[in-house]
């Protein structure tokens, strides 16, 4: 079966020498893939590369078998995303904002807007102006916009930032339901390591711009470790590798 996401030897260097280096990664249909790593490791850069917000220096990205560089529109046709903090028209309300989003998807069902707001816990505030929303409510609205078009691949950058406990539970339930019932693939970058341990079937650890470890969560934690313990061990090994000259610590060539 052809992978939903196929990334090969992907590199991008910024002037500050950060970025990503030689990342190769595949995602299968229905995967919930967690991307872990310290601040500045390259997680958001990877997501921006996957959505065409920045261009790679080298390597390739294919979504649904279509190259981002050669067939951007068709590659992104089935993708929903939330990269970094979302921007809104704060003078409008949640329903009208999602109506604006829906204009990009001509075949979207009219009732999908209210159903999506219900999924993320915003239906009681559907007609309230966004300027009165809390940070967590805006995060929920950004999530709603990402899943509104019924995508087959969803890319989320720190999706639980600002969410209260109820919001985190709703998010977890939504991801599980969309993955199991509709086969939607998720790539989630987050520091909420305990949430990723509960949600994800696969994880990848990015350090110094490189994908230093990845695999099935069940296999990686077979020794009884928690994901947090496993992650800390991997960071320690990566730092040792830098000392030994085996890693470049975010200095893509």
Rounded Cα–Cα distance for residues 27 and 204 (Å)? 11
Segment 13-30 shows an average pLDDT of 93
Check residues 243 and 77 and name the one with the higher pLDDT: 77
For the cut 80, the answer to whether the pLDDT of residue 251 exceeds it is no
For the segment 30-85, what is each residue's pLDDT rounded down to a tens digit?
Answer: 999 999 999 889 999 999 999 999 999 999 999 999 999 899 988 998 999 998 76
Count how many Cα atoms sit within 13 Å of the Cα of residue 154 in the half-sphere of its side chain. Answer: 30
Helical spans, DSSP H, in the chain:
43-50, 72-75, 94-102, 112-119, 135-147, 165-182, 193-199, 217-220, 227-243
| pLDDT at res. 61 | 96
pLDDT at 249: 52
d(CA 184, CA 88): 26
Give 236's Cβ-side CA count (13 Å radius).
Answer: 6
In 12-56, where does DSSP find H-type helix?
43-50
Paired with 81 in beta bridges are 155
Residue 164 confidence (pLDDT) above 90: no
Closest CA to 174 of 164, 186, 162, 157: 186
Q: Give the mean pLDDT of the chain.
A: 89
What domains are there in the chain, each with its CATH number? 5-244 (3.40.50.300)
Tell me: pLDDT of 20 over 60. yes
pLDDT tier at 245 (50, 70, 90 boundaries)? low
pLDDT tens, residue by residue, 102-121: 888 877 887 899 999 998 99
| Rounded mean pLDDT, 127-132 | 94
What is the largest distance, in Å, between two alpha-carbon atoms of the chain? 58
Structure confidence at residue 210 (pLDDT): 94
pLDDT band, very low/low/confident/very high, at 87 (cuts 50, 70, 90):
confident
Residue 157, token pair as written in the block: 């950058």
Contact assessment for residue 21 and residue 210, using Cβ atoms and an 8 Å cutoff: yes
pLDDT at res. 253: 40
Per residue in 194-231, pLDDT (tens digit) is 989 999 999 999 999 999 999 999 999 999 999 999 99
**Looking at residue 4, what is its pLDDT?**
94
- What value, to the nearest 5°, has the Cα angle with vertex 94 and ends 91 and 100? 80
- The angle formed by the CA atoms of residues 57, 59 and 64, to the nearest 5 degrees, is 125
Q: Where residue 16 falls among pLDDT bands split at 50, 70, 90?
A: confident
- Number of Cβ within a 10 Å radius of residue 172: 15
Tokens of 188: 């989630």
List the structure tokens of 230: 């496993």
94 close to 121: Cβ distance less than 8 angstroms: no
* Tokens linked to 204: 């990848």
């Amino acid at each position: 079966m052809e992978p939903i996401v196929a990334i090969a030897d992907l590199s991008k260097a910024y002037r500050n020498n950060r970025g990503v280096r030689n990342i190769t990664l595949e995602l299968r249909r229905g995967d919930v893939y967690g991307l872990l790593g310290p601040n500045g490791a390259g997680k958001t850069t990877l997501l921006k590369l996957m959505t065409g917000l920045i261009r790679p220096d080298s390597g390739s990205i294919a979504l649904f078998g279509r190259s981002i560089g050669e067939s951007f529109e068709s590659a992104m046709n089935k993708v929903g995303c939330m990269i970094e903090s979302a921007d809104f028209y704060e003078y409008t309300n949640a329903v009208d904002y999602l109506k604006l989003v829906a204009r990009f998807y001509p075949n979207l069902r009219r009732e999908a807007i209210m159903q999506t707001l219900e999924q993320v816990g915003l239906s009681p505030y559907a007609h309230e102006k966004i300027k009165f929303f809390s940070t967590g409510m805006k995060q929920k609205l950004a999530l709603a916009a990402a899943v509104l078009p019924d995508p087959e691949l969803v890319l989320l950058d720190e999706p639980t930032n600002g969410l209260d406990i109820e919001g985190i539970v709703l998010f977890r339930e939504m991801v599980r339901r969309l993955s199991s019932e509709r086969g939607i693939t998720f790539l989630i970058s987050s520091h909420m390591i305990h949430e990723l341990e509960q949600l994800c079937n696969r994880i990848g650890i990015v350090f110094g711009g490189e994908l230093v470890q990845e695999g099935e969560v069940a296999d990686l934690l077979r020794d009884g470790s928690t994901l947090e313990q496993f992650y800390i061990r991997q960071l320690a090994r990566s730092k040792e590798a830098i000392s030994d000259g085996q890693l470049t610590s975010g200095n893509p060539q």
